[in-house]
Amino acid sequence: MEKATFAAGCFWGVEATFRQMPGVISTRVGYTGGKTENPTYKEVCTDRTGHAEAVEVEFDPAKVRYADLLKVFWENHDPTQVNRQGPDWGSQYRSAIFFHSPEQQAQAQAAKESLEKAHRYSKPIATQIVPAVTFYPAEDYHQQYLERRGLASCHISS
């Protein structure tokens, strides 16, 4: 099994989207990329922790490629937005790929460059591609939030 970590706005919709993919073993939402240890949702919402709302995806590379996860990431949010997605704003809603290996870094960078060269978006891509750091799981009530409420999604497709 391998891990992938993505931030693409509100983590509820991002998690629900990845959970639907064959080959994804598990997901968990949480906070990463900031300076505060063991942050709470309330702290992250102050925009002072430096953390992004993110989804950690455990996947079977024999059943789903990292490139496929990247494709879903790019297609299910607006990567040109800086510190926001739809009505949600703040650095916790930034677009970021937290890579776990040099191979993931290379694939993420190549995918970003390919989208930029193809002029897929009318504005520059703002997505950060940075090393994965400590991932702090969000509170239990955030885990599989939409699924437990019978909702399909809340994300904004590009």
Q: What is the mean pLDDT of the chain?
A: 92
**Tokens at residue 76, please?**
């299910």
Q: What is the pLDDT of residues 58-95, one digit of tens each?
A: 999 999 999 999 999 999 999 999 999 888 899 999 99
Rounded CA separation 30/7 (Å): 10
Rounded CA separation 100/5 (Å): 8
- Position 150 pLDDT exceeds 70: no
Pick the CATH number of 2-148 from 3.40.50.880, 3.10.20.440, 3.30.420.130, 3.30.1060.10: 3.30.1060.10
H or E stretch including 119?
A: none
Q: pLDDT confidence of 145, banded at 50, 70, 90? A: low
Q: Are 113 and 18 within 8 A, CB to CB?
A: no
List of residues 6+ apart from 17 with CB closer than 8 A = 72, 76, 153, 155
Q: Would you list the domain boundaries of the chain? A: 2-148
Which position has the token pair 């455990």?
A: 58
Which position has the token pair 């990431």?
A: 73
Q: What is the pLDDT of residues 40-52, one digit of tens each?
A: 999 999 999 999 9
Closest among 9, 31, 13 to 93, alpha carbons compared: 9
Task: Report, in angstroms and rounded to the nearest whole number, the Rg of the chain calculated over CA atoms.
Answer: 14
Rounded CA separation 134/113 (Å): 27
CA dihedral 29, 93, 101, 15 (to 10 degrees): 30
Confidence (pLDDT) at 13: 87
pTM above 0.85, yes or no: yes
Confidence (pLDDT) at 158: 46
Q: Which of 4, 8, 10, 16 is catalytic?
A: 10
To the query of whether residue 10 is one of the catalytic residues in this protein, the response is: yes
